[in-house]
Amino acid sequence: MYTTRWCGYCVRAKTLLDGKGLEYDEIHLDEDVLFRQTLHDLTGGWTVPQILIDGKPIGGYTELWRLDRDGTLDELLAA
């Protein structure tokens, strides 16, 4: 998960994953002055968080929440 320390949606995404007992790697982009370009190059997204599951970008917090809500997140993680 690509994050910045000042991002509220990053906190929400981490809280959701922590609540499910899931481990994740967090990559802080606070020191990267071109972090939006870096994100776009790596994930195709411009905002944080950008979350990847098995190397595949799924989007940000809203997309993660939707996947969790409809049960797809558990399916993705089980695969």
Within 10 Å of residue 26's Cβ, how many Cβ atoms?
13
Sketch out the chain's domains with CATH numbers. 2-78 (3.40.30.10)
What does the pLDDT look like over 12-48, one tens digit per residue?
Answer: 999 999 999 999 999 999 998 888 898 999 899 999 9
Query: Strand runs (DSSP E) across the chain, as ranges?
Result: 2-3, 27-28, 51-53, 56-59
Query: Residue 79 pLDDT > 80, yes or no?
Result: no
pTM for the structure as a whole: 0.89
Q: Is 67 helix (H, G, I), strand (E, B) or coil?
A: helix
Residues of the chain with pLDDT > 90: what percent? 81
